Structure 1
Amino acid sequence: MTYGGLNQVLNEHRAVDKRRRASSSVAGAPMPTGQHTPTPFFPPSIQGATDDLPSHVAICEERYITASNRIFRWAPSPGPASSLSTSSGFNFDPSGLMSGSVTEVLEFSLEESTCVSYSTAIIKYCAFCDSAGIPIQDRCPPSSGLLLAFVSSFVAKIRADTAKKYLGAVATWHRLWGHDWVIFPQVTYALRGLKHFQPPANDLRPPILAAHLHAVKAHLDIDSDPLHAAVWACSLFSWWAVCRLAETTSPSTPSFTPSRNATRASVQAHRQVLGGKEIVRVDLPWTKTTKEKGQQKHVVKVGGTLCPVEAFDNHLRLSPVPVSELSTTALFAFRSSSMPGSTLVLPLSKTKFLTTFNAALVRSGQEAFQGHSFRIGDATMYWHTGTDIKSIKLIGGWKGNSVLKYLREYARGLLPAHERAAAAIAEAAPS
């Protein structure tokens, strides 16, 4: 079999994925060692390949290559799988047992969302090499000329920062497979030059503000629908506590893991009361910036329509679980309305959350939002009400000044500062 191009390989992968889904197969089998590794290039011959099932597809069937694991399952160059050896070339792992452990450890070196993002860059690099007629043996490691041409192919198509991210993803791909990656000065200069040809930046994402939340609530049945109650509680908790949705929802229902996602046990049993206000504390096990250290999040019983504590208590009322299951139940897990009388609760996935929230928002006559609009809205809301930047960073868990990118409507945000300054000046003015 000859290399039929990247599209052929991707189509084969999609066919495999379709068959897998149809048969409800379990994904994520570890990559066997001691065999040829799959690549986006020449499909190596392996046992089990037939005319009806090309060898590359047979590999995919065995190892289930998806966007989230492509960087670990596709080698940058064809050939046998690399073995563990000393600097002199002595192979001290002929059985491949240690290689299996190494592969498993490496596959946990990147976040799943990062792997999916990097997969896009890998495909773009392979597609470019295909279109330029670059021989397979000359693609890894890439020369300065190849990378210069790759970067320059994005002129007037994407932003320079995006091209830089693509290049970084391809570099990580090569390094993960043990290949050297040279940082060529000319390529660095080309990335700078690309800024002069880049298209205009996309419009800033709009914030979710109080008016949007009021509009959504009017189209949710939070008193009797467990899903709606969970979505409402999650939206208010995320909004007031300035959370990323990845911290309060799960990527997908089957992928909920207590070590990464908040559970009912994450809620502090004893509620603190300060200044007559009841406070709910949730210990997040993991965040984007703190990793395994996690972070404490607090919401206050403020009363009114947008009270996060009242919404949270209502959610717990409609989707209760036994005490013995608190540590294995997602924080905003809900009882499925499709199974009346069932005590089974399902984790609230990010997709389910956004679909439900946006459906209510659209019914109110407004446009749908993306997930990050919540965090943007949270920071903007606090800023508009006079909260200083240092406090906003503390609430949201920002370590640097990236919080400034989340602020919208600068005039409103700066108004309290101007009013305080004007009052101080007026007070100090001579009578």
Structure 2
Amino acid sequence: MQGILSSVAPSTLRSYTKAVARFLAFAEGLEGPPPWPASQAVVLQYLAHLHGRGLAAGTMRRVLAAISFFSKAGGFPDPCDCFEARRAVEGWGRAAPRVPDQQRPITLPILRAILWEVPGVCWSSYEAQLLHTTFVLAFFGAFRAGELVAGSRRDPSGRALALRDVAVARHKVAITIRHSKTDQRGRGVTVLLRSSRDRAICPVRAIQSFLVVQPHSPGPFLVHRDGSPLTRYQFAALLRACLQAAGFPPKEFATHSFRIGAATVASVLGLPPTAIQRLGRWRSNAFRAYIRPARAIRC
């Protein structure tokens, strides 16, 4: 059983656990057999309940995935593998199409502007170097936040970028990403970053400078002076502070805006779709939704 639970990312397991707990709370309020193992009838009732509450079809699909996962993990038949459940969610999704998020891209002018504000937002030169490095890494590598920073100060997953995964040469840096959203089995991928003529935003120069002061203790690469990891919450909060200081609306951006910006800038510069797909390590045409020149703030 433990092996099955370990087959999904820790964040996915937490999400599944919460979804099933809410399902069980609903099922316990119904008359009939015990709520678990789940039955198709109760699953269909729960879907109707969620639809009545206005939940999106994507949310209901995640609920079905959670119930299905724990049912099969416990050796029970999958109550979600039925025509009615699949078609109901698909129909509700067509009736209310998913509205894409409206996050703006962080473009090169915005990157330069927020990097300028980093020293004033951070309380020490070390923290400024840490944040500067995180920002340029996120942009030039088109990284997801979870590929770079820890989920929390005590994140046991070990999925944050590790010091051992950063290999520096004179004019390039090789970043090994051992796990990602689309690589839960940890096959790994190497991202090659090259020097930029603009020293203010050069990722190679930033990483080389940060390595001079980085504690060099085993574990995450992006750490504070005391060795504790930079967390996703801190990354997001400091990004908002820099955006605010630079005069941009923080609510219209998120850490994912670096990845959106990388795809948008690449498209504006004329890179072909296949190159953009490789840049962000997308396995499908999902990268097209990240190209948002119309959402870019003109600087």
- Residue 364 (str. 1) matches residue 257 (str. 2): no
Change (3 A) 1:145 1:223: closer
In the alignment, which residue of structure 1 is the partner of 2:189?
Answer: 295
Please tell me the residue identity of whatever aligns with 2:284: G
User: What's the offset of the Cα at 1:239?
Assistant: 0.7
User: What's the offset of the Cα at 1:123?
Assistant: 3.2
Aligned equivalents of 2:277, 2:100: Cα separation in 1: 25
Contact 1:216 1:364 in 2 (8 A): yes
User: What's the offset of the Cα at 1:302?
Assistant: 0.8
How far does the alpha carbon of each residue in 1:143-186 deviate from its partner, in whole angstroms, 9 at most, with x for none? 33322221112336122222122122112122222221132222
- Residue 348 (str. 1) matches residue 199 (str. 2): no
State which of 168, 179, 203 in structure 2 corresponds to 1:286: 179
Change (3 A) 1:300 1:187: same
State which of 163, 173, 183 in structure 1 corresponds to 2:60: 163
- Residue 250 (str. 1) matches residue 150 (str. 2): yes
Contact 1:287 1:295 in 2 (8 A): no
- Bigger-Rg structure (1/2): 1
Please tell me the residue identity of whatever aligns with 1:243: F
In the alignment, which residue of structure 2 is the partner of 1:334?
Answer: 224
Aligned equivalents of 1:294, 1:122: Cα separation in 2: 31
How far does the alpha carbon of each residue in 1:306-338 deviate from its partner, in whole angstroms, 9 at most, with x for none? 2212222232233343xxx4xx14222231xxx
What is the SS of the residue equivalent to 2:138?
helix
- Structure 2: any 5+ residue segments left out of the alignment? none
Please tell me the residue identity of whatever aligns with 1:297: V
Please tell me the residue identity of whatever aligns with 2:214: S
State which of 38, 45, 61 in structure 2 corresponds to 1:149: 45
User: What's the offset of the Cα at 1:280?
Assistant: 1.6
In the alignment, which residue of structure 2 is the partner of 1:266?
Answer: 165
Change (3 A) 1:163 1:411: closer
Contact 1:303 1:310 in 2 (8 A): no
Aligned equivalents of 1:198, 1:372: Cα separation in 2: 25
Change (3 A) 1:223 1:186: closer
Please tell me the residue identity of whatever aligns with 1:208: I
User: What's the offset of the Cα at 1:267?
Assistant: 2.4
Aligned residues: 288
Please tell me the residue identity of whatever aligns with 1:159: A
1:315-326, aligned counterparts within 5 Å? 315-321=210-216, 325=217
- Residue 184 (str. 1) matches residue 68 (str. 2): no
Percent same amino acid at aligned positions?
Answer: 23
Aligned equivalents of 2:246, 2:34: Cα separation in 1: 56
Aligned equivalents of 1:139, 1:356: Cα separation in 2: 44
1:228-239, aligned counterparts within 5 Å? 228-239=128-139
User: What's the offset of the Cα at 1:230?
Assistant: 0.9
In the alignment, which residue of structure 2 is the partner of 1:78?
Answer: none
Contact 2:104 2:295 in 1 (8 A): no
Please tell me the residue identity of whatever aligns with 2:106: I
The TM-score, its normalising length taken from structure 1, stands at 0.60
How far does the alpha carbon of each residue in 1:329-377 deviate from its partner, in whole angstroms, 9 at most, with x for none? 4222231xxxxxxxx4222222222222222212333233323222112
Structure 1 outlier segments of 4+, above 4 Å = none
Aligned equivalents of 1:192, 1:268: Cα separation in 2: 46
Aligned equivalents of 1:320, 1:138: Cα separation in 2: 54
Aligned equivalents of 1:257, 1:125: Cα separation in 2: 27
In the alignment, which residue of structure 2 is the partner of 1:109?
Answer: 7
Change (3 A) 1:205 1:119: farther
Contact 1:207 1:374 in 2 (8 A): yes
Please tell me the residue identity of whatever aligns with 1:247: E
State which of 91, 95, 103 in structure 2 corresponds to 1:193: 91
Q: Which protein, 1 or 2, shows the higher relative CO under an 8 Å CA cutoff with sep ≥ 6?
A: 2
Higher helix share: 2
In the alignment, which residue of structure 2 is the partner of 1:48?
Answer: none
Aligned equivalents of 2:35, 2:112: Cα separation in 1: 55
